[in-house]
Every structure is written in structure tokens, then in C-alpha cells.
A and B are shown apart, each in its own frame.
Chain A
Amino acid sequence: MFPLTRRRFLHLAMAATASASLPALVGCSSARSLRVGIHHWIGYETLYLAQEFNWFSQPIDLVSGDSAQKSMSGLASGELDAACLTLDEALRLRAEGVEIVLGLIFNVSAGADMVLARSPLADSWQGARLGYESSAVGALMLKHFLHAHQLQVEDLVLLDIPLYHQLEAWQAKEVDLMITFEPTASRLQQEEGVRIFDSRALPDTIFDVLAVRQDRIKAHTQPIKALLEGHFRALNYIRSNRHDSLYRIAARQGVEPSDIENALAGVILPSLQANQRYLSGQNERLQLACAHLSELMLETGILAQKPNLDQFLTPQWLPLQGF
């Protein structure tokens, strides 16, 4: 009646392993909590939502910083066990010899990164001042923007403007063009910014990921799994309880719910299955993006050497069942 199929056998084996590892699990809970570096970005909001609703089954500290830079240095120094970063930031850490592994994709930018202009007319861009964060994503956006509009770097005046200063610089009319991303992008758009290029032109290129220090994996496997479980539960909540989620995220970010709606529209939040495909290599786009970004970063001098990409991605912490 109930044949012991191969699949069932595997389930059994897993269940047996799980029950066997129960004491180990209990042992882990006494260890200090998992410290995760996080900063302002719509894709990472799932973690805050999970925290708000007490959905983490293991002790997890979300260490909020004002920029990715803080997460990167925390990860490099070992102060953090894991951090939410963009793929290029993770590559940079790897190239600098910080042993990290990517275990989750929060989002893929699909319009959330954009180039805004005061005027949509291409003629007015000649010799314009372009503000951007000199990150890999900034460089990537710049390269593709120039390419799409057949411009040369020499045609523009490039200004390095960090994210937190972008709104101010825009209002002060220090720049004519700005490479930026949500939710700042929405604010600039309210200030007469016009979208002239966005990351929809670069599908499957700009990823936001969870990077975990290799040396912390062993002691924190259960909290990492709990973190991912909380993320997917929150992701599901955003989908099914959209109204409530929008208000909560807006309240946390201090913006209007409609801004959050816009921001969410600019990202793709990969489901559990999509994560599985990306991280297992079934979908090669992530690996291609790693290679592509590394090359670009070498070209632009952001990287001094090519990062080692062996065992960079792992689907091992993804929850078993769907949310």
C-alpha cells in the first residue's frame, strides 16, 4: 500500500539524520547568536519583517549599519558572522581573501537600480555632471548606461557621491544625472528626476545575497537555516499580506507605502525554488554574473586580482519545504 520509494527512503534518511542531530541542535542554542550585518535596502526587508513577527526560531542579531561598507568591514574583521551584500561586494571580499560563502539570494534588481536625469532629452546630457557611488554596481550601471546611449566616459563629468548624500546633492543641483537605487530613486523622482535607464536592461546581473563567513558555518548552521526560513516566511507574507507588509516596511523605512510599492516593483524576489536553481548552478545566471562582475571589476580597477570562485555558492541552508 505504501511502497518505500526512493524518495521516501531519502526522506526517511533525512528525518533520521535530523533526529540524530537533535542533541547537536540543542547544543547550538547555547552558543551566542548569529550576527548578521544588514543595511538599508528593500531586498533585505524580509529579515526585519521576520524579526518583527518573531519568526526566527534561533537567536539572530540583525546588526544594522548605514552602508554596505560597514557590513563588509564587519565581515572581514570577524565581528559579523554573515552579512547582506551585493554580489560585487561579496566578490570583493573574496578577492581580498575573506573566506565567505553565498547561501541566499534576496533579490535580483529589475529596475530598482536606475539612472535619473533632470531632463529626459539625450541632447542635454553632453558634458553633464553624473553622480554615482563608485561601487561595482555603480560602475556596472555606468558602463551599460553609456553603452545603451552610445556615450563615452569623456562625454560626462563623473562625481563620486555616496548614497546618503545623493538626495542632498540632487536638491542642491550639484548633478544633472544620478546613478542611484530605491528608495532614494523614488525620492529623486519626486524631485523632478526622470528615469532614463534602469537595471531591467541588465537582467540577472545585480544580485543581493547573504554572505556567510566560512569559519562560522560549523557553529551556526542552525541559526543560518533559521535565518533563511524566516526570510522565506516573510517573503510569503509580503506576497499574501501585501497591504500589511507595505505599511510595515514603509513605517520602518520612514517612507510612504507607495514608495515601497515602487521599490518592490523594481526587484525580483526569487522564490525558494528559484534560489535553489541559482545556488545549485541549475540556473547558470548567478555564476555568469559572478564571472562577468569579476572581469568588470578588474577592468575598472576595483579589484586587484581575480577572486577564487570555487565553492562560492551553496544551497545547503535552504529550507526543505516550500513557503
Chain B
Amino acid sequence: MPRLLRAWFFIFLLALSSIVHALETLTLGVFAYRPKPIIEAHYQPLADYLSEALGDGVKVRLAVLDQNEIDQALSQNQLDLVFTNPAHYLILRSENTLTGVLATLIRLENQQPTNALGGVVITLPQSSLYRLEDLIGQRVAYPGVKMLGGYRVHLYELLQRDIEVKQLQLLTKGTHDQVVEAVLKGEVDAGWIRTGVLEALEREGKLQADQLRVINQQNLPGFPFRVSTRLYPEWPFIALPHVKADTVRQIAAALMNLKADHPAAQAAQIHGFSPPSDYIAVENLARSLRLPPYDAVPEITLDDVWSRYGDWMLIYGLLMLMVSSAIIGLLVQNRRIRLSEEQLRLAAQVFSHAREPILITDHHGVIIDVNEAMCDSTGYNRPEMLGKTPSMLKSGRQPSSYYDEMWRQLRRGQSWSGEVWNRHKDGEVYAVMHNISVVLNSQGKPRHYVAIYTDITALKNQQAVLEHMAHYDALTQLPNRVLLNDRLHQACVQAKRHTWYLAVVYIDLDGFKQVNDTYGHAVGDELLIQVSQRMKEALREVDTLARIGGDEFIALLTDLESPALCEPVLERLLAAASSPIQIRLKDRHTESVQSLAVSASLGVALYPDDPAETDALNQEALIRAADHAMYDAKHQGKNRFVIYSAVSGSECKRITAETSSDEEADINR
């Protein structure tokens, strides 16, 4: 704040002086980079020189100002000419309209002129700092942020070494002289000053050459000062736009004309002025450091970014897109694979552990896999079956047309099911239920066939047993009444067609009950089996003998061209029934063979009774008639046959039965 007040006071003085002096006064503002009295002493002669050069009525006033004072004065438009460092010039140029640089200072040292300046990094000789990198973490004094040689050039060197400013402890000291003082006193570890200051202080006797050491000193033999950084153009001399063009030309000419040996040049310790240097290096420096006036971060629009990095953004965008979509695709695929793997595992387990035999073929019908149950049921092991066709299992029971039809249906893509007789490896034929499914490919053509077998042999056998039981007598294995009725019906149809006769012979064994009672049921049964067997043998091929209960049988004699033709058969039947039978008797301790004999009473009913009445067939009646005639035979003394006649009642025929009396004697024995 006091500094600001001072500035205002100074401006007031300037304003006052311009009123007091009637003649035109140009105010030359010189930046006080060193203590003001020194700068004033250096440049008052130059101001006088310019006054002299401008001639009548124009006077150049020197105003040595610090940074804030210069800014204030400029904002009040109190300055006409400005002489300052290039960094400061850039800032002023961005804030004010300047006519541009009239000339660039040429400094002189040791008879060597130069119009370049740089920065010097100083430290005490005994310090341990030798490189710029060593400044990290150290206390470093500098004169002020608007200094070029005292600040900016140093920052740039740090930037080139990737050192950040905040890694240093920076302290502002106002002027270069104060920085040198701070270093000498040990208040700081190092100091930043501009070129020429050390040499000037030494010349002024304020410093001995060995009191300070320069860090990172550059080897530039042509340059008269010690320097630690790159070099930049010296101070510019600037005119403000309100100064008359004529005056500007005169000032520029005077500056160029200033000889090194002129008192003004000697007082300022300069060689003179050169045509303006190119300050682009200073601009670039400020730009890369983002320092004023290039400290404002440019507003970056999407367009800017696009035009600069568009290609890379596109490429990386595309790459990212490709990579992320690939990742998503992979995840989805992975999940799908995992699911289908589980399904496959499940299917495989079902396949291998199923109790039903399963067989898989390709679309040609070649076996590509079978499960364990399949091997068990066929007797073949897996290697024996793979690569063959299912026809290896054929039993030959089905005609090939059966299989042709199956394949036709499968090729149409339809599943098929049916019974098939297969042959086991050991030759046994067995029945299976086939269920064949078709696996279609994406074009709808069969790709695989899957056949599931169910062994139905037991079922088939059971069925056959039941069928047998329904039609045959369990003891004698002769047809039962059901089958007899069926045969009778067919025989009647035949008889009618061929105008043949048939005879129903009702047979009842004589004396069987007595055998049963005497020897027991087992012997009775054995007798029944043997007698029935003999009777069956006594019949012709076309005839049927059925057991209809107990010791009652019915023989069906067919294809008789005449009724009389039945008689020889009847005779044979009687003989068969009455011939003795050897039966093995088993006691608890003994075993003996017993000869037993029974006889039979036969009742015969002929059909047609009257060849003219063939239509009126009644099977039941026929049997009843035979039954009736059998009773007649019993009544007439057994061991004979009686042919029933509806017209004349029963006609009895007696058959001699000498053997039967023998047998009865046997029985009694």
C-alpha cells in the first residue's frame, strides 16, 4: 500500500511539473532494476543528451520508476518514452498501444559490446550447489516476477530440466542488488540476477570477484559477462503513440548516433543503441512458461482440439470402440459357451447314464456313438460298433421293406418308432422298441440320427404265454374250448364251402374217476396227459383234439367226404384211449411202474346232418348233440361210440372191448 501511495504521489508531481514548465516535456520512464540513485546517475546524462538532440522547447525528463510505478504512470498516460526490460515490454505492449521499439541497448563491458542479456545464478563459493538441479529445495532470492534476466530466463532453464518452480523456495527481493546482498549474508542459498550486475557491483567496489560463485556458467567466450542461461536481446527503447512522429524519428536518430565515447554513453556504461532486435525469443519464452502476457489459458474449443488431435482422437476412439466391443463380445460368448458347456455336460451324463440303450449315427447312418446300456444290450463293445451301421444288429425277422419304410420316414426328417427284432452278439434274437429322432442341420437336412431302444423281449414272451394260456389247456397242452370253437367255426366254413362233412366227437373217459381216487391227482393228471397224447396221435393231421374239462375231450374231425369216413378214426380213438398206459408211481420209499387202462365213450355229431340243410349251423347245438350221443354210449356200456341222429334219435354202435375188461382187471390188481 505505501508503494501505491508513493506512486500516486509521484504521478501528482509529474502532472504538476508539466503545468509549471511551459515548454514541452517528454517524460522518459526508466525501469529501476537496480537502486534508483544508481539508475538515475546512469541515465540522467542520456535524458540530457536526448533533450539536447531534440532542440528548442523540448525537454526530456528522467523518471526512474519501479514496476508498479511504471504501470501506474502508463495507466495515467504520464510517460512518453519507456526504457525497460524485454519481458516488461511484452506486458506493456499487450496492455498499451506502443509505437514499437525504437532501438535496442548495446551494453559495454571490458571493451566488449553486447546487445544480449541472460540470467546469472549466484551462490557463495563454499556452497554445495553446482548444477541447476541442485537448486531443488533451496531458498532462492530473485528481484521480481517482471524481470527477464532476474526471473524468466531462470524459469525457462528449469523447465528445460523438468524442474518445477514450486520445488524451489523463492523469495522476492525487489532489486538485483538486494538479491546479491541476501546471498552474501547467507539469508538464501542462491540468487537469480541478470547479466552485468555482478560486473557492475565489482566495478563499483561493492563486491569482490571471489565473493560469489556462478552456477551453471556458460562457456561463451565472446560474451563479456558471466552467465548461467541462454541469451536474449537487451532492453528496448520504446515511444508511446501520442509522441509526435517527428519527435520519434529525432529520438531514434539520436539514439543511433550516440557514440560509445559520448559522456551520456559512458555514464550509462553502455556502448550505444542498435536497430531494434527481434524479441520473438522473449515472446517464445513467455509463451512456453505461460507467463504474462501469455498467461491466460486460451479458450480451447472442441474445434481446436479436433483440428489438432482429431486424427488421433478418431484412431484412439475407433481403437477403444473395437477393443470394448471385442471385450463385450468375448464376455457374451464366454457366457454362452459356459451355458452350452453345462448343457453339454448334462446331455453327456444323460447319454452315458441312461438305462435305455442310445445309439447316434451321422447322416449316412454310420454309428458315431453308443452308450453303455447299448453295449450291454447288444453284447458288442463300443469300438466294435463305432463306424458300422445299425444293420449289424439285424435279426432278419423283419423284411427289408420294413427298414426301407423306416428310412424313408427318417429322411423326410420325421421321427420314427416301432418294434424291431435285433440279434444279440451271441445270436439271441430279442425285441426292442425303437424311437429314432432326427437332428437337423441349419438347412433342415438330417445331420444325426438318435435311436433310443427299449428291450421288449420279456413283454413279447409274456404276451405269447398269455396268448397260449387263453387257447390251450394247461395240463395237456391241447386246445381249449375257446380255440376249439374257433376251429369249429372255421371247419364249418370249410365244410360248407366244399360240401364236406365234419364230425364233433365228444369224448369222456370211462373209469378215470376211479384212477384219480385210487392213485391220486398226480397219477390222474399223468394219465390224462398220456391218453390225450395217444388220442391226438390217433387223429389225422387236419383234426383237432381239445380238452374241455376234467376227463372230457372233444375231437373235431374235418374234411370228411362222407359221414362213414369218420368211423375208422373213431375206432382208432377208442383203441388209443383204451390201450394200457405205463405210469411211474412214486412212493415215499419205493418207485414202481404201474400199467393202467381206461376206456372212452364217444358221442359223435355229424355236420351237416342233412347235406341239404347246411345253412342252419349251430355250433353249440352240434356239441350238445355230440354230448348227448356220448351219454348214449355211456348208457350202452361204455368203450364205444354213438353217432347222433336228429331224425332217428341215437344210433348206437357197440364196439367190442376185450382189452377194456383186462384193463379193469389191472386196475383192480
Q: Is A248 an interface residue (CB 8 A)?
A: yes
Taking the nearest CB of chain A, how far is it from the CB of B148, in angstroms? 13
Contact B223 A247 (CB under 8 A): yes
Q: Is B230 an interface residue (CB 8 A)?
A: yes
Give 1 or 0 for each of A187-216: 1 = CB within 8 Å of chain B CB: 000000000000000000000000000000
Contact A243 B222 (CB under 8 A): no
Instruction: Output the residue of B222, B284, B310, B314 with the most chain A CB within 10 A.
Output: B222
Taking the nearest CB of chain B, how far is it from the CB of A42, in angstroms? 15
Contact B315 A16 (CB under 8 A): yes
Assembled-state Cα–Cα distance A248/B315 (Å): 42
A2-18: which have CB < 8 Å to B?
2, 8, 11-12, 15-16
Contact A243 B115 (CB under 8 A): yes
Taking the nearest CB of chain B, how far is it from the CB of A240, in angstroms? 5
**Residue among A2, A242, A251 making CB contact with B220, cutoff 8 Å:** A251
Assembled-state Cα–Cα distance A264/B280 (Å): 19
Q: Is A256 an interface residue (CB 8 A)?
A: yes
Instruction: Output the residue of B115, B116, B277 with the most chain A CB within 10 A.
Output: B116
A30-59: which have CB < 8 Å to B?
53
Contact B222 A241 (CB under 8 A): no
Q: Is B221 an interface residue (CB 8 A)?
A: yes
Contact B116 A247 (CB under 8 A): yes
Asked if A240 meets B310 with Cβ closer than 8 Å, knowing A251-B222, A257-B222, the reply is no
A236-256: which have CB < 8 Å to B?
240-244, 246-248, 250-251, 254-256
**Residue among B115, B223, B281 making CB contact with A241, cutoff 8 Å:** B281
Q: Is B560 an interface residue (CB 8 A)?
A: no
Q: Is A152 an interface residue (CB 8 A)?
A: no
B197-235: which have CB < 8 Å to A?
219-223, 230-233
Assembled-state Cα–Cα distance A71/B42 (Å): 54
Q: Which residue of A lies closest to B115 (CB)?
A: A243
Q: Which residue of B lies closest to A243 (CB)?
A: B116
Residues in chain A near residue B666, CB distance under 8 A: none
Contact A250 B221 (CB under 8 A): yes
Contact B315 A242 (CB under 8 A): no
Q: Is B519 an interface residue (CB 8 A)?
A: no
Q: Is A19 an interface residue (CB 8 A)?
A: yes
Q: Is B613 an interface residue (CB 8 A)?
A: no
Assembled-state Cα–Cα distance A15/B312 (Å): 7
Assembled-state Cα–Cα distance A2/B314 (Å): 11
Residues in chain B near residue A8, CB distance under 8 A: 310-311
Q: Is B419 an interface residue (CB 8 A)?
A: no
Residues in chain B near residue A16, CB distance under 8 A: 315
Residues in chain B near residue A2, CB distance under 8 A: 306, 310
Asked if A19 meets B315 with Cβ closer than 8 Å, knowing A241-B232, A251-B221, the reply is yes
Residues in chain B near residue A243, CB distance under 8 A: 115-116, 231-233, 277, 281
Residues in chain A near residue B284, CB distance under 8 A: 240-241
B312-350: which have CB < 8 Å to A?
312, 314-315
Taking the nearest CB of chain A, how far is it from the CB of B152, in angstroms? 14
Contact B222 A250 (CB under 8 A): yes
Residues in chain A near residue B232, CB distance under 8 A: 241, 243-244
Q: Is B278 an interface residue (CB 8 A)?
A: yes
Assembled-state Cα–Cα distance A2/B220 (Å): 51
Residues in chain B near residue A244, CB distance under 8 A: 116, 118, 230-232, 281
Taking the nearest CB of chain B, how far is it from the CB of A138, in angstroms? 30
**Residue among A11, A53, A250 making CB contact with B311, cutoff 8 Å:** A11
Instruction: Output the residue of B118, B220, B233 with the most chain A CB within 10 A.
Output: B220
Asked if A240 meets B223 with Cβ closer than 8 Å, knowing A8-B310, A16-B315, A19-B315, the reply is no
Contact A251 B311 (CB under 8 A): no
Residues in chain A near residue B116, CB distance under 8 A: 243-244, 247
Taking the nearest CB of chain B, how far is it from the CB of A272, in angstroms? 18
Residues in chain A near residue B280, CB distance under 8 A: 240
Give 1 or 0 for each of A251-267: 1 = CB within 8 Å of chain B CB: 10011110000000000
Contact A241 B311 (CB under 8 A): no
Residues in chain A near residue B115, CB distance under 8 A: 243
Residues in chain A near residue B310, CB distance under 8 A: 2, 8
Contact B314 A248 (CB under 8 A): no
Assembled-state Cα–Cα distance A243/B115 (Å): 8
Asked if A242 meets B278 with Cβ closer than 8 Å, knowing A248-B220, A251-B222, the reply is yes
Taking the nearest CB of chain B, how far is it from the CB of A243, in angstroms? 4
Contact B221 A240 (CB under 8 A): no
Give 1 or 0 for each of A153-176: 1 = CB within 8 Å of chain B CB: 000000000000000000000000
Taking the nearest CB of chain B, how far is it from the CB of A6, in angstroms? 13
Assembled-state Cα–Cα distance A159/B223 (Å): 38
Assembled-state Cα–Cα distance A257/B222 (Å): 6
Asked if A15 meets B222 with Cβ closer than 8 Å, knowing A243-B115, A244-B232, the reply is no
Q: Which residue of B lies closest to A254 (CB)?
A: B221
Residues in chain A near residue B230, CB distance under 8 A: 241, 244
Contact A15 B277 (CB under 8 A): no
Give 1 or 0 for each of A104-143: 1 = CB within 8 Å of chain B CB: 0000000000000000000000000000000000000000
A12-B315, A15-B311 given; 18 more Cβ-contact pairs under 8 Å: A8-B311, A53-B160, A240-B278, A241-B231, A241-B284, A243-B115, A243-B116, A243-B232, A243-B233, A244-B118, A247-B116, A250-B220, A250-B221, A251-B220, A251-B221, A251-B222, A257-B222, A257-B223
16 contacts between A and B (CB under 8 A): A12-B314, A15-B315, A16-B315, A240-B280, A241-B230, A241-B231, A242-B281, A243-B116, A243-B231, A244-B281, A246-B222, A247-B116, A247-B222, A247-B231, A250-B222, A251-B220
Please list the residues of chain A having a beta carbon within 8 angstroms of any beta carbon in chain B. 2, 8, 11-12, 15-16, 19, 53, 240-244, 246-248, 250-251, 254-257
Please list the residues of chain B having a beta carbon within 8 angstroms of any beta carbon in chain A. 115-116, 118, 160, 219-223, 230-233, 277-278, 280-281, 284, 306, 310-312, 314-315
Give the 4 A-B residue pairs with the shortest CB-CB distance, closest first: A243-B116, A244-B231, A241-B281, A257-B222
